[in-house]
A and B are shown apart, each in its own frame.
Chain A
């Protein structure tokens, strides 16, 4: 398979680029922030996303979606990153759609997937508990109780948790933190008694929540996938999410870079365009190289997820690690090369820096993925 977008994927990119660029440029995020918007995103735009088929991109045909793959999801994520659009796309259309179509029972699929495809259901994936992404360290308890389970514990960094109609939660039904066995995924209605939810406003003005579970009753048919053996399903979903966030970071990096190169060609100091200075030329050329290499690694990971899902871990670790370091470099150079203007709130560059920092942490930062790679290669 060629490591370039095919014709259909290029058309999808152009349509996503046009729509998001027109309807949700950075000014859209800025306005939601300045208005202290209660949901932090636009339901009207999400409806349009559904009408364009984006919300059902990963939903199989028989449930009303288009049954496309991770490459296509990445194409949309990249445009989201380019414009910093706050959207349920990641949590609902990528993570929840993958979780349900990969792990759901027939009943779970037919209940939820059509609603994801038509845009009427928002979902959120609740994994992290500590300051860093450590899925195997999950402590949240799922204890058998009657015909179901009782959940106790706390989740943090739940993207879109404050608006979700459905939560997908990783809990420990057996074993101890650190062990692979004993993890189970549950589908939980956030309105269930015992759930306390707090919207967390983050540095990037995107959405997340902290959720406390106090003796929350879940029916046995709320189990998603296999009891105690949920780790493979969880890692699969996380890898899809990592590929998607890596794509978002490619979009962030490219947009910052493009704005910065434009600035180098406009800003004059010492009677010269600052882009004439070799000190800046070399740094810009280095950053360009890093971005191009990362773009290739991310596309490779997405293609591998589509072609050979169970053997994509290495390619995904490479992509997420690279995307993290590249985006970090891109936003830092972006602010530095814009000088004092880069530090102002009035200028958009700072928004990219904030988003890149959040994307780094989401589903494991570059260090986490370097450690993953070392483990996969046995050293």
Chain B
């Protein structure tokens, strides 16, 4: 038996013994995700057990180095762990912007002291992070951001506001883009800085969305004092860090549909619409739409797998995550259009117990943000056109 086969059988046995059955069911809603942080609450005992067991193995971040709280797995072993978790439907033990976004940026751009300070707390789910990128006047044109950091001795004083800050009202710390040089060209005067959301001068205000929920906030900074040592990378070179992090954010968003995957769409539709004697969905056109969707979904999963393998082989393109983000988010919107159509009038209820407080229509509406947040589909296509296809023009 090769080392990898051995690792696979060990991993399979460990997961079998340690993943509670409740944690092998598809997530139904936000409460099924555990986000960690200072004020974290487990919504069930199995959720706590599963998180703690995975944390203790470093498998909240299997491929991070062990000295930063990770599992220290190489690419091949991390892939095996993913495959074995997928095989039993195991949930991700920890949902975290620290893992998906900040961590990779710290590993690349952070000082050793920063890595030791922040990464283990991310891996152990002790600090929950939010992302301070967009501003009211800096959306797709992110680099025009105006939140100002003024030098004051060993500190910066930060003033300005951010918008679409996901879960800012629950977050412990923020990774934030600020303007440290207002005379430089717009991409050149930006710094990437970390600070505690309990610092004096920080306030948040949830934004009510069309889904009736408030996953995003407006976040305000009024002379917030932050030590200069909290800058990641070089002062005024924060755009490099920001872009690198965005690649990871885009990979995360393109996989959102996957993470939320529940019962196969064809069966969900059959439950409400019914099937004919041959077991075919009663609505033949919807059946075709579902099949086309599932073909694209399966193909996208192959492309995601291939992107990881290409990167490992040194053949990946750094802008490819933009193509994946574009396709994955448009696909997730299609999934929910199909789910709404399959549900018919039952998918329209908003407040009832029967509809779990309108879980489906709220989720449907939420997906409409997928092709906006983290860079719109149009921005993604522009990046592919310029950076991968090398087409001319601004």
Contacts and interface: CB of A to CB of B under 8 A. Distances in A.
Interface of A: 2-4, 261, 264-265, 272-273, 275-278, 281-282, 284-286, 288-290, 292-297, 299-300, 314-315, 317-319, 321-322, 367, 369-371, 373-374, 377-379
* Most chain A beta-carbon neighbours within 10 Å: one of B291, B299, B320, B326: B299
Contact of B299 (A261, A286, A296, A370): A296
B392 interface: yes
A345 B327 CA distance: 34
Contacts of B296: 293, 322
B348 interface: no
A253 B394 CA distance: 27
A296 B303 contact: yes
Contact of A284 (B279, B287, B315, B391): B391
Interface size class of B (residues with CB under 8 A): 35 or more
Nearest to B327: A289
A378 B326 contact: no
B295 A321 contact: yes
Given A285-B381, A297-B302, A265 B290 contact: no
B294 A288 contact: no
Interface string B367-394: 0000000000010111011101111110
Given A293-B296, A321-B295, 17 more contacts: A276-B393, A281-B386, A281-B389, A284-B389, A286-B381, A288-B323, A288-B384, A292-B320, A293-B303, A296-B305, A297-B298, A315-B298, A318-B302, A322-B296, A322-B299, A374-B281, A377-B264
Interface in B219-243: none
Contact of A285 (B270, B294, B323): B323
A278 B394 CA distance: 10
A273 B392 contact: yes
Contacts, number: 139
Contacts of B312: 2
B302 A4 contact: no
7 nearest CB pairs, A to B: A379-B266, A276-B393, A297-B299, A281-B385, A285-B384, A370-B291, A296-B302
A275 B382 contact: no
B82 interface: no
Contact of B391 (A276, A286, A290): A276
B392 A275 contact: yes
Interface in B267-310: 267, 269-270, 275, 279-281, 287-288, 290-292, 294-296, 298-300, 302-303, 305-306, 309-310
Contacts of B327: 289-290, 293
13 contacts: A261-B389, A265-B390, A284-B389, A288-B323, A296-B303, A297-B298, A297-B299, A318-B299, A321-B292, A321-B295, A370-B295, A373-B294, A379-B287
Contact of B287 (A272, A289, A374): A374
Contacts of B326: 285-286, 289
* Most chain A beta-carbon neighbours within 10 Å: one of B280, B309, B388, B389: B389
Contacts of B303: 292-293, 295-297
